[in-house]
A and B are shown apart, each in its own frame.
Chain A
Amino acid sequence: MMTRTAIIICWTLAIGLALFLLLPLVVIAAASFSPTPVFDLPLSGASTRWYGRIGRLDGFWPSLSLSLQIAVLSTALSLVAGTLAAIAIARGRLPGATALGTLLVSPLMMPGLVLGIALLQYFRMIGFTATWSALLVAHLVVTLPYVARTMIAGLSRFDFTLIEAARTLGCTYAGSVLRVMVPALAPSFLISGLFSLLASFDNYPVSIFLTDVRSKTLPIRMLQYIEEAPDPTLAALSTLILAGTLVLLLISDRLVGLHRMAGTAD
């Protein structure tokens, strides 16, 4: 009887929590199809006109382009640097490897606002004022921990005897890395890339200090829109971003399987 009650309570809580987390997404998606500028339930019909207005938002395309550039580039650089750093930390006999690993991951634990102000002051001090480059460097600080943490975890579980096994079976060293290490680490690679991409793309607190009037990243531009004209265009844009994220997740699932990415299998 006790267990039965407990199970009911647990499920109620779990479903309630899931609803609480997911309902805003449903609301935003519903709002994006609202025929009137003011979102009202129940909907009195459906319209896609807000979607058509996204592209005409003031400064939308440059902001989207900037955000994508920074997100993709910082992710690519983080994947290279983070993987190499992870190899040195997880595999090498580096003195102070653990400390170095903690240092690499530490920006994750720092409030974004503090990080943003600190970077702004620092960049000013050393005369590093090019907005685009400053943004890229700042986003690297944000994305590198995701990659480093995931790759260190992935590598520490990787058995390097597998490479030796592949070599004795006829693979060159490089071939062994490619045929054995890369597939084994693919889930770590993909999940850290995904995290990094999203962390950069929707970063607000660090970017806000480093953008100027002419170059604003998408999240900052969106906040500006909401202050100026709060109509469902933003809901439409948010829905599109949500859809894009879903597509990324689906592709990842197809490639390596989300269960492997979450580290729950094997």
Chain B
Amino acid sequence: MPAQPVFSADSIGKSFGPRTILKAASVWAREGQITVLFGRNGCGKSTLLKIGAGLLRADHGVVLFAGRAYLRPRLPELASRGLFYLPDRDLLSRRLTVRAQIRAVEWRFGGTRSAEILERLGIHGLVDRTPAELSGGERRRAEIATAWIRAPRCLLADEPFAGINSSDAEVITEAFRCLAQEGCAIVATGHEVRQLMDTADDIVWMAAGTTHGMGTPDKASQHEQFRREYLGAARR
């Protein structure tokens, strides 16, 4: 019997004007596990994560986090209870140095591991630069470091592997595994099928405004419709 989710966005519906993006979509994250949300471009993965993080208001549905139900969640409230939302880009301010932004996280949530985490992510020598002075991969690693230093109960990561090279992706995968080992519940989205399937403990597939729990990556890759309509040649 799997553990109860720490986080779940349940039966979420969302329309933008006449266009319905989400009909009844759900995603969840369990302690120490990495849930990967797959789906085609524009199917509503980012919208679902933003609703889960309290950045967008759902038309219907409920967000459950750390034992509380929220009809209208707001990120500051969820964040103070342990949620961290990592957007597909620009988590960090372009103007302030990475060090200044990490200090803000340490001030708010404490933490004495920043030196170790920065070292593990290979950005300890870059902290006095602003994110605008970093490459895409370095910036992504700095963002992941910020999330890791916060030590969240739940991390919602929108396309963490988008636009970065394979060596950066390996470092980030390792960081996610470490975070999960420390008990963090992670939801990640993306299109990097091999990378994400190898990282995931649980797969959720989004299609036509709704979601399907696919189970473990092995189970998911045996699912005929999922293989045919999403994985294609990537997982044969």
Are both chains from one complex?
Answer: no
B residues adjacent to A (C-beta < 8 A): none
Residues of A participating in the B interface, judged by any CB pair closer than 8 Å: none
